Structure 1
Amino acid sequence: MSLGKIADVSKLQAARAANIDLWSPVVFAALQRLKSGPATEDLEALLLDRQFNVIAHQAIWAVTEISADVRWKYCAQRYFSADTLARWKKLESSGIPKMSQFVPGLRHEHVVERAELKSMLESATSPEGVAAILEKAESCVVTAEEDRRLNKSHQGWDRYRLAKTAPVRVWDRLKLCWR
């Protein structure tokens, strides 16, 4: 499959918004059950916590990944690192760009790490608050080498700006500019 036919970032943004709308009340309902008061048994508390964790995990992936299909997970993301973009352009110019040549060695990286997003979700006070947190769930496609350079002691885009050896530059495919 050609890279160009699946690179429509606007479709990803629409699917992302639909998933935020779908998952926000589900995550909030699970959070309300978790916080509804003391569980009568340890097992009940464990199950409520597990339920919230599973739902929060699925919601975060649904918003960033859309689908495990590589067309969404890697090729239609809004943000591409400079090295990812260079790889894309090199394959396109080769005349026969294939997804199978593009994806190996890439990482679907959560800009705000999943653990931080989950922690933020635990403090939400409404479905709208959950939606606002899920809006922060963005991903960037980076190479494995760029992923290793990200500054793990920071959060969000600061991890890219303050990366080891040099900043990881990021192209915004929606606004068509460097971030």
Structure 2
Amino acid sequence: MLLAALFLLSACKTEPANQGFCGIIPKRLEAAMSYGTSLYLGSMPDQEFLREDQGRSLRQIPPLEVREDPMAVQAVTRGRCAFSIFEESFASEQKELQGLKSAQLLYGYPDSVVFRMYVNPAALRGEEARTRTLDFLDTLWSDEFQSKLEFYGLKPVPEGLRTQVRNDLPGFLTTASESE
């Protein structure tokens, strides 16, 4: 594994893991998300940090499960993880995702491959989990993260879209009952 911070989540299959501050990602994005996690933390975590983080009730590192099967959407649609990233072509076939807020995150090669982030704020268990999720997602649309995507065989979304999504992210993490 590229970064020990990317944990497989068996708990995510039955209940919210890490108070909902977790996600599902495709294999193709594993290295880029490892880089994104180190940006979010401010540095590459060492073994001591990882050991300490495992013992926290709300970890600083969002556990990310690598899955690409049709059942992967259930983690986000059933409120077990606050976010998931899927190829747009795969996601368009998953009717359960249609009610969730989403935004383009990045492109693969060829240009026709689009990766979208899907968000379910109902998965989050508390304000601290919401804040960490917002900060992590904001990192993924940052210029610093997006400008390095080509190293991973990916392409950034346009700067204007990044700015728009970063401005809209707080609303993505608000449930319908909170916005009323």
**Which one has a larger percent strand, Structure 1 or Structure 2?**
2
Identify the TM-score tier after normalising by the shorter chain: under 0.3
Higher relative contact order (CA 8 A, sep 6+): 1
**Which one has a larger percent helix, Structure 1 or Structure 2?**
1
TM-score normalised by structure 2 residue count: 0.25
TM-score normalised by structure 1 residue count: 0.25
